[in-house]
Structure 1
Amino acid sequence: MRSEETVRQRFGRLIANAARATGRYDLDGHGGKAALARAAGLSESTMGRVLRGEAMPDPRFFEPLAKAVDVNAIDLLIAAEILSPESLSAPAQSRATGVGSRSITLDEAADALGIQTAVGRELFTAAVERLQRTERTERATADDDGGAAAHA
Protein backbone atom coordinates (compact mmCIF):
# COMPACT_ATOMS: atom_id res chain seq x y z
CA MET A 1 0.00 0.00 0.00
CA ARG A 2 1.30 3.44 -0.89
CA SER A 3 1.14 6.05 1.84
CA GLU A 4 -0.21 8.74 -0.51
CA GLU A 5 -3.17 6.54 -1.46
CA THR A 6 -6.48 8.01 -0.24
CA VAL A 7 -9.21 5.95 1.38
CA ARG A 8 -11.30 6.31 -1.80
CA GLN A 9 -8.42 5.12 -3.98
CA ARG A 10 -7.64 2.22 -1.66
CA PHE A 11 -11.31 1.20 -1.54
CA GLY A 12 -11.58 1.37 -5.34
CA ARG A 13 -8.40 -0.67 -5.78
CA LEU A 14 -9.58 -3.32 -3.32
CA ILE A 15 -12.96 -3.60 -5.04
CA ALA A 16 -11.37 -3.79 -8.50
CA ASN A 17 -8.89 -6.48 -7.39
CA ALA A 18 -11.58 -8.52 -5.67
CA ALA A 19 -13.93 -8.17 -8.66
CA ARG A 20 -11.25 -9.42 -11.03
CA ALA A 21 -10.41 -12.28 -8.65
CA THR A 22 -13.99 -13.56 -8.83
CA GLY A 23 -13.61 -14.11 -12.58
CA ARG A 24 -17.14 -12.73 -13.09
CA TYR A 25 -16.27 -9.14 -13.92
CA ASP A 26 -14.05 -8.12 -16.82
CA LEU A 27 -13.50 -4.56 -15.67
CA ASP A 28 -11.28 -3.78 -18.65
CA GLY A 29 -13.68 -5.23 -21.19
CA HIS A 30 -17.25 -4.60 -22.23
CA GLY A 31 -19.96 -4.91 -19.59
CA GLY A 32 -17.90 -5.88 -16.54
CA LYS A 33 -18.38 -2.60 -14.70
CA ALA A 34 -22.08 -2.58 -15.53
CA ALA A 35 -22.48 -6.15 -14.25
CA LEU A 36 -20.67 -5.27 -11.02
CA ALA A 37 -22.81 -2.15 -10.61
CA ARG A 38 -26.00 -4.21 -11.02
CA ALA A 39 -24.79 -6.86 -8.56
CA ALA A 40 -24.06 -4.19 -5.95
CA GLY A 41 -27.17 -2.10 -6.61
CA LEU A 42 -25.20 0.94 -7.74
CA SER A 43 -25.51 3.04 -10.87
CA GLU A 44 -22.89 2.44 -13.55
CA SER A 45 -21.58 5.99 -13.19
CA THR A 46 -21.17 5.60 -9.43
CA MET A 47 -19.43 2.25 -9.89
CA GLY A 48 -17.01 3.84 -12.36
CA ARG A 49 -16.18 6.62 -9.91
CA VAL A 50 -15.69 4.08 -7.08
CA LEU A 51 -13.36 1.92 -9.19
CA ARG A 52 -11.35 5.00 -10.21
CA GLY A 53 -11.01 6.01 -6.56
CA GLU A 54 -12.95 9.21 -7.09
CA ALA A 55 -15.91 8.43 -4.84
CA MET A 56 -17.10 6.21 -2.01
CA PRO A 57 -20.47 4.54 -2.21
CA ASP A 58 -23.08 5.34 0.37
CA PRO A 59 -22.44 3.09 3.39
CA ARG A 60 -25.65 1.13 2.75
CA PHE A 61 -23.91 -0.28 -0.37
CA PHE A 62 -20.79 -1.55 1.43
CA GLU A 63 -22.28 -4.94 2.19
CA PRO A 64 -23.90 -5.55 -1.24
CA LEU A 65 -20.70 -4.45 -2.94
CA ALA A 66 -18.55 -6.73 -0.76
CA LYS A 67 -20.94 -9.62 -1.44
CA ALA A 68 -20.77 -8.97 -5.19
CA VAL A 69 -16.97 -9.39 -5.11
CA ASP A 70 -16.99 -12.32 -2.67
CA VAL A 71 -15.33 -10.61 0.28
CA ASN A 72 -16.49 -10.08 3.83
CA ALA A 73 -17.79 -6.52 4.28
CA ILE A 74 -15.94 -6.03 7.56
CA ASP A 75 -12.69 -7.29 6.01
CA LEU A 76 -13.17 -4.87 3.12
CA LEU A 77 -13.82 -1.89 5.39
CA ILE A 78 -10.83 -2.74 7.54
CA ALA A 79 -8.51 -3.14 4.53
CA ALA A 80 -9.73 0.18 3.13
CA GLU A 81 -9.01 1.72 6.53
CA ILE A 82 -12.61 2.80 6.96
CA LEU A 83 -12.88 0.68 10.13
CA SER A 84 -10.06 -0.10 12.52
CA PRO A 85 -9.44 -3.53 14.01
CA GLU A 86 -9.32 -2.03 17.51
CA SER A 87 -12.97 -1.09 17.45
CA LEU A 88 -13.80 -4.73 16.78
CA SER A 89 -11.33 -6.28 19.20
CA ALA A 90 -12.94 -5.74 22.62
CA PRO A 91 -16.63 -5.87 23.44
CA ALA A 92 -18.06 -2.65 24.91
CA GLN A 93 -19.17 -4.58 28.01
CA SER A 94 -15.61 -5.59 28.83
CA ARG A 95 -14.25 -2.06 28.31
CA ALA A 96 -16.94 -0.50 30.47
CA THR A 97 -16.83 -2.94 33.38
CA GLY A 98 -13.41 -4.49 33.19
CA VAL A 99 -15.15 -7.88 33.18
CA GLY A 100 -14.58 -10.27 30.34
CA SER A 101 -12.02 -12.42 28.69
CA ARG A 102 -8.43 -11.48 27.96
CA SER A 103 -7.58 -9.46 24.89
CA ILE A 104 -6.73 -11.54 21.87
CA THR A 105 -4.34 -10.89 19.02
CA LEU A 106 -5.52 -10.11 15.51
CA ASP A 107 -4.25 -13.53 14.39
CA GLU A 108 -6.33 -15.18 17.11
CA ALA A 109 -9.36 -13.14 16.09
CA ALA A 110 -8.87 -14.03 12.42
CA ASP A 111 -8.58 -17.71 13.37
CA ALA A 112 -11.71 -17.52 15.53
CA LEU A 113 -13.60 -15.88 12.67
CA GLY A 114 -12.38 -18.44 10.15
CA ILE A 115 -10.37 -15.92 8.13
CA GLN A 116 -7.69 -18.11 6.60
CA THR A 117 -6.55 -16.59 3.31
CA ALA A 118 -3.65 -14.14 3.20
CA VAL A 119 -5.84 -11.53 1.49
CA GLY A 120 -8.61 -11.98 4.05
CA ARG A 121 -6.17 -11.62 6.93
CA GLU A 122 -4.62 -8.51 5.34
CA LEU A 123 -8.07 -6.95 4.89
CA PHE A 124 -9.07 -7.88 8.45
CA THR A 125 -5.88 -6.49 9.99
CA ALA A 126 -6.04 -3.24 8.03
CA ALA A 127 -9.69 -2.67 8.94
CA VAL A 128 -9.16 -3.34 12.63
CA GLU A 129 -6.13 -1.05 12.76
CA ARG A 130 -8.08 1.72 11.01
CA LEU A 131 -10.97 1.36 13.46
CA GLN A 132 -8.55 1.68 16.36
CA ARG A 133 -7.04 4.87 14.95
CA THR A 134 -10.49 6.36 14.37
CA GLU A 135 -11.61 5.53 17.90
CA ARG A 136 -8.50 7.13 19.41
CA THR A 137 -9.04 10.27 17.32
CA GLU A 138 -12.71 10.53 18.26
CA ARG A 139 -11.94 10.07 21.97
CA ALA A 140 -9.24 12.75 21.80
CA THR A 141 -11.64 15.12 20.04
CA ALA A 142 -14.35 14.49 22.65
CA ASP A 143 -11.84 15.08 25.45
CA ASP A 144 -10.67 18.33 23.82
CA ASP A 145 -14.30 19.55 23.64
CA GLY A 146 -14.58 19.11 27.38
CA GLY A 147 -17.81 17.21 26.91
CA ALA A 148 -19.53 20.36 25.60
CA ALA A 149 -21.71 18.31 23.25
CA ALA A 150 -23.07 16.31 26.18
CA HIS A 151 -24.07 19.53 27.97
CA ALA A 152 -25.82 21.08 24.98
Structure 2
Amino acid sequence: MDSPSDGGPEIISARFGALVTKLAIQAGYDLSARGGGRAALAQRIGMSPSAVGRMLTGETLPRPDQFESIAAAVDGDVTDLLIEGGVLSPNNSRNQGNSDVRSATNQSLSLSPEAAADRWGITDPMIRSMLISNIRQAIGLQQQADRAAASGGA
Protein backbone atom coordinates (compact mmCIF):
# COMPACT_ATOMS: atom_id res chain seq x y z
CA MET A 1 0.00 0.00 0.00
CA ASP A 2 1.55 3.25 -1.10
CA SER A 3 -1.04 5.75 0.01
CA PRO A 4 -3.92 6.14 2.41
CA SER A 5 -6.36 5.95 -0.49
CA ASP A 6 -5.21 2.40 -1.25
CA GLY A 7 -7.28 1.00 1.60
CA GLY A 8 -10.06 1.75 3.98
CA PRO A 9 -9.68 2.97 7.54
CA GLU A 10 -9.48 -0.61 8.84
CA ILE A 11 -6.46 -1.36 6.67
CA ILE A 12 -4.71 1.85 7.71
CA SER A 13 -5.45 1.20 11.40
CA ALA A 14 -4.10 -2.34 11.11
CA ARG A 15 -0.96 -1.20 9.29
CA PHE A 16 -0.33 1.61 11.77
CA GLY A 17 -0.92 -0.69 14.75
CA ALA A 18 1.46 -3.33 13.41
CA LEU A 19 4.16 -0.71 12.85
CA VAL A 20 3.80 0.81 16.33
CA THR A 21 3.86 -2.69 17.84
CA LYS A 22 7.09 -3.50 15.98
CA LEU A 23 8.72 -0.19 16.94
CA ALA A 24 7.60 -0.46 20.57
CA ILE A 25 9.16 -3.91 20.89
CA GLN A 26 12.36 -2.61 19.25
CA ALA A 27 12.34 0.29 21.73
CA GLY A 28 12.26 -2.19 24.61
CA TYR A 29 8.58 -2.35 25.58
CA ASP A 30 7.54 -5.86 26.66
CA LEU A 31 4.11 -6.15 25.05
CA SER A 32 3.45 -9.69 26.25
CA ALA A 33 0.36 -10.27 28.39
CA ARG A 34 2.15 -9.71 31.71
CA GLY A 35 5.10 -7.70 30.46
CA GLY A 36 3.82 -4.28 31.52
CA GLY A 37 4.89 -2.73 28.23
CA ARG A 38 1.43 -1.58 27.18
CA ALA A 39 0.95 0.26 30.47
CA ALA A 40 4.41 1.82 30.22
CA LEU A 41 3.81 2.83 26.60
CA ALA A 42 0.39 4.24 27.48
CA GLN A 43 1.87 6.32 30.29
CA ARG A 44 4.67 7.64 28.07
CA ILE A 45 2.23 8.57 25.28
CA GLY A 46 -0.47 9.93 27.55
CA MET A 47 -3.13 7.45 26.42
CA SER A 48 -5.12 4.93 28.41
CA PRO A 49 -3.83 1.35 28.34
CA SER A 50 -7.06 0.25 26.64
CA ALA A 51 -6.64 2.91 23.92
CA VAL A 52 -3.06 1.76 23.36
CA GLY A 53 -4.30 -1.83 23.12
CA ARG A 54 -6.89 -0.87 20.49
CA MET A 55 -4.22 1.05 18.56
CA LEU A 56 -1.72 -1.82 18.67
CA THR A 57 -4.30 -4.36 17.51
CA GLY A 58 -5.32 -2.08 14.65
CA GLU A 59 -8.84 -1.40 15.88
CA THR A 60 -8.39 2.38 15.97
CA LEU A 61 -6.04 5.15 14.98
CA PRO A 62 -4.94 7.60 17.65
CA ARG A 63 -6.06 11.22 17.69
CA PRO A 64 -3.91 13.57 15.57
CA ASP A 65 -2.49 15.26 18.67
CA GLN A 66 -1.09 11.90 19.86
CA PHE A 67 1.09 11.02 16.87
CA GLU A 68 4.12 13.00 18.05
CA SER A 69 4.01 11.41 21.52
CA ILE A 70 3.75 7.96 19.96
CA ALA A 71 6.76 8.62 17.72
CA ALA A 72 8.79 9.89 20.68
CA ALA A 73 7.81 6.89 22.79
CA VAL A 74 9.04 4.41 20.16
CA ASP A 75 12.14 6.48 19.32
CA GLY A 76 10.88 7.35 15.84
CA ASP A 77 10.28 10.32 13.61
CA VAL A 78 6.63 11.35 13.42
CA THR A 79 6.66 11.89 9.64
CA ASP A 80 8.31 8.52 9.01
CA LEU A 81 5.83 6.88 11.39
CA LEU A 82 2.84 8.39 9.59
CA ILE A 83 4.12 7.52 6.13
CA GLU A 84 5.29 3.99 6.95
CA GLY A 85 2.13 3.43 8.99
CA GLY A 86 -0.03 4.34 5.99
CA VAL A 87 -1.61 7.45 7.52
CA LEU A 88 0.18 9.79 5.09
CA SER A 89 1.17 9.04 1.54
CA PRO A 90 4.87 9.01 0.60
CA ASN A 91 4.19 12.21 -1.38
CA ASN A 92 3.92 14.06 1.95
CA SER A 93 7.64 14.56 2.33
CA ARG A 94 9.00 17.04 4.80
CA ASN A 95 11.47 18.08 2.12
CA GLN A 96 8.70 18.97 -0.28
CA GLY A 97 7.69 22.61 -0.22
CA ASN A 98 4.09 23.61 0.22
CA SER A 99 2.62 24.36 -3.15
CA ASP A 100 0.44 27.43 -3.16
CA VAL A 101 -2.90 27.24 -4.87
CA ARG A 102 -5.17 30.13 -5.75
CA SER A 103 -8.55 30.46 -4.16
CA ALA A 104 -11.28 29.83 -6.70
CA THR A 105 -13.28 32.75 -5.32
CA ASN A 106 -10.44 35.21 -4.94
CA GLN A 107 -7.51 34.77 -7.30
CA SER A 108 -5.36 37.21 -5.31
CA LEU A 109 -5.28 34.93 -2.26
CA SER A 110 -2.72 32.12 -2.15
CA LEU A 111 -3.67 29.14 -0.05
CA SER A 112 -1.55 26.06 0.64
CA PRO A 113 -3.25 22.65 0.65
CA GLU A 114 -2.62 22.42 4.41
CA ALA A 115 -4.15 25.85 5.00
CA ALA A 116 -7.17 24.86 2.89
CA ALA A 117 -7.67 21.77 5.05
CA ASP A 118 -7.37 23.94 8.16
CA ARG A 119 -9.88 26.49 6.84
CA TRP A 120 -12.35 23.73 6.00
CA GLY A 121 -11.92 22.16 9.45
CA ILE A 122 -10.53 18.87 8.11
CA THR A 123 -8.79 17.36 11.15
CA ASP A 124 -9.14 13.60 10.66
CA PRO A 125 -5.61 12.48 9.67
CA MET A 126 -6.74 10.08 6.96
CA ILE A 127 -9.20 12.49 5.35
CA ARG A 128 -6.71 15.34 5.65
CA SER A 129 -3.87 13.41 4.01
CA MET A 130 -6.14 12.26 1.18
CA LEU A 131 -7.34 15.84 0.57
CA ILE A 132 -3.83 17.29 0.58
CA SER A 133 -2.50 14.50 -1.67
CA ASN A 134 -5.35 15.02 -4.13
CA ILE A 135 -4.77 18.77 -4.21
CA ARG A 136 -1.04 18.26 -4.87
CA GLN A 137 -1.81 15.71 -7.59
CA ALA A 138 -4.28 18.12 -9.22
CA ILE A 139 -1.69 20.92 -9.13
CA GLY A 140 0.87 18.65 -10.81
CA LEU A 141 -1.60 17.59 -13.50
CA GLN A 142 -2.57 21.19 -14.16
CA GLN A 143 1.09 22.18 -14.47
CA GLN A 144 1.61 19.37 -16.99
CA ALA A 145 -1.44 20.52 -18.97
CA ASP A 146 -0.23 24.12 -18.90
CA ARG A 147 3.24 23.07 -20.16
CA ALA A 148 1.68 20.98 -22.92
CA ALA A 149 -0.57 23.87 -23.97
CA ALA A 150 2.36 26.30 -23.93
CA SER A 151 4.46 24.00 -26.10
CA GLY A 152 1.72 23.62 -28.70
CA GLY A 153 -0.06 20.45 -27.62
CA ALA A 154 0.87 16.80 -27.57
TM-score normalised over the length of structure 2: 0.58
1: CA distance, partners of 2:11 / 2:92? 21
Equivalent residue number for residue 134 of structure 2:
137
Larger Rg: 2
Query: 2:18·2:56 contact (CA, 8 Å) conserved in 1?
Result: yes
Question: Per the alignment, do residues 29 and 59 of structure 1 end up closer, same or farther by CA in structure 2, a change over 3 Å counting?
Answer: same
SS in 2 for 1:87: coil
Question: Per the alignment, do residues 60 and 96 of structure 1 end up closer, same or farther by CA in structure 2, a change over 3 Å counting?
Answer: closer
Equivalent residue number for residue 106 of structure 1:
none
User: Quick one: which amino acid aligns to residue 56 of structure 2?
Assistant: L
Count of residue pairs brought into register by the alignment: 103
Query: 1:37·1:47 contact (CA, 8 Å) conserved in 2?
Result: yes
Query: C-alpha displacement at 1:134, in angstroms?
Result: 5.4
Unaligned runs of 5+ in 1: 98-130, 142-152
Which of 8, 15, 26 matches 2:30?
26
2: CA distance, partners of 1:136 / 1:66? 22
Aligned pair 1:61/2:58, yes or no?
A: no
Structure 1 runs of 4+ aligned residues shifted over 6 Å read none
Aligned pair 1:85/2:90, yes or no?
A: yes
Question: Per the alignment, do residues 72 and 136 of structure 1 end up closer, same or farther by CA in structure 2, a change over 3 Å counting?
Answer: closer
Query: C-alpha displacement at 1:83, in angstroms?
Result: 1.4
